[in-house]
Amino acid sequence: MNVLLIGSGAREHAMALSLSKSSLLERLYVSPGNPGCAEAADIVSLNIDDHKAVVDFCRAKAIGLVVVGPEGPLVAGIADALQAAGVLCFGPSKYAASLEGSKFFTKQFCDEFRIPTAKYKTFNQMEPAADFVRSARFPVVVKADGLAAGKGVTIAANVDEALAAVSESLGGRFGRAGSQIVIEEFLEGQEISAFALCDGERAVWFGEAQDHKRVGDGDTGPNTGGMGAYSPTNLVDDALKAKIMAEIFEPTVQGMRARGAPFRGVLFAGLMLSEDGPKLIEFNVRFGDPEAQVLFARLRSDPLELFAACARGQLGALAPVLDDVCAVGIVLASKGYPGSVDLGSKILGIPAAKSHAGVRVLQAATIMSAGVLCSNGGRVLTVVAIGPNLKIAKRDAYRAIEDIRWPEGFFRRDIGDKGLRESETNGHGGG
């Protein structure tokens, strides 16, 4: 089968490496890709926003499956265009992608299908939103309704912070994405990322990971797209997994089916493990980044077989198998991220970093210039190591980073520490 993978980040690099090992694969194309993806696939230049051009490419290259990495093309309806042209797509329809594309849509959906989530109010005008904020119990969470490149969520500790977030969003910083906002209660507990593959009829567990959103050590500084992750987490046992499936994933798949929009692809639930059980923070309709980097490092199953079965609506008895190892992924970002960054700095030492056993270096915002790899954005690399437990995987990932020579970059030095503390508390010795 010929496959087209859409996307350009470290997530897509991880997926390309995994797909390239499939016994079902004939040829893998990635668009727009990055220099790292070129190790495993043919890089092609397509205007992903031009659905006809994508369809034409699929017909010309006899593409049997399109795998969509980021959320933007899905929210824009690329799966619908491919389906109409008779091309299989691993990714949900435009309507089903509203689970990520609109916070308000998701809140209403949760109300209808009794999916546990935070209490909320929605607003599209400043004055009523401000009145609500002044009477709120803090902290509260202010969210732009639509896609805002990971920057539309503010955890406000007081009235002033909440009013600033409301003004920023309704004032136009995020364009149409922020013209409506959701203000919701702040959930207490431990946060995890959980994933399920869906074929429109059923959902199967794919795995879980712990993400690190804040830019600085100790979870300090502004939110980012993610500075690192590890998988698995000992917060999730078989009983909790079953509860998440029964209360979050399965009602969502059945609810989408009831609405006439079967969900086919991967469903990513950001969850808070509260005293009352797991509660939904948000849905995403694609693999997370950096969570995908650690999940695919553990995946033993053939991803192409799984993805094609989801797209056909025929998962049947198929279910992902992940190796019983731990994976730690550490993001290297350009100094200044998540604010403005300089582009074009040279990155050296990747071959040496990759030479460590169990280590892979995944590229995101990179570009080749005069034969040298250079930075081309905020989050630039993810260094992933696998090991028999979290302690060893973390040690090996940081050792590999020592070989990368990139003075203009930075990374958090505490990825995985939270999991190690939890292991010690539970008597698991870092395993």
DSSP string, 33-68: --TTGGGTSEE----TT-HHHHHHHHHHTTEEEEEE
Nearest residue to 96 via CA among 202, 244, 200: 200
Q: Give the chain's mean pLDDT.
A: 95
Domains delineated in the chain: 2-90 (3.40.50.20), 125-179 (3.30.1490.20), 188-312 (3.30.470.20), 326-425 (3.90.600.10)
pLDDT 10s digits, 50-61: 999 999 999 999
> So what's the pLDDT on residue 421?
87
CA atoms in the 13 A half-sphere facing the CB of 53: 8
The whole-angstrom separation of Cα 22 and Cα 31 is: 19
pLDDT 10s digits, 254-305: 999 999 999 999 999 999 999 999 999 999 999 999 999 999 999 999 999 9
pLDDT 10s digits, 354-374: 999 999 999 999 999 999 999
The first and second tokens of residue 261, run together, are 């929009």
The whole-angstrom separation of Cα 82 and Cα 100 is: 20
The first and second tokens of residue 198, run together, are 């869906």
The whole-angstrom separation of Cα 364 and Cα 61 is: 26
Distances in whole angstroms, Cα of residue 370 to Cα of each of 138, 280, 346: 53, 47, 11
Nearest residue to 198 via CA among 245, 271, 267, 247: 267
Scanning 320-416, the segments in alpha helix (DSSP H) are 350-354, 390-401
> How many other CB atoms are found less than 10 A from the CB of residue 60?
8
CA atoms in the 13 A half-sphere facing the CB of 423: 15
Distances in whole angstroms, Cα of residue 67 to Cα of each of 54, 74, 79, 412: 12, 11, 10, 31
Partners of 405 in beta bridges: 348
**Is the pLDDT reported for residue 431 higher than 60?**
no
E-strand ranges in 89-152 read 89-90, 120-123, 140-144
> How many other CB atoms are found less than 10 A from the CB of residue 188?
12
Q: Which residues of 194-220 are buried (b: 16+ CB within 10 A; e: fewer)?
A: bbbbbbbebbbbbbbbbbbbebeeeee
**Is the pLDDT reported for residue 184 higher than 90?**
yes
The DSSP secondary-structure symbol of 363 reads E
> So what's the pLDDT on residue 249?
98
Whether the CA torsion 258, 259, 260, 262 is positive or negative: it is: negative
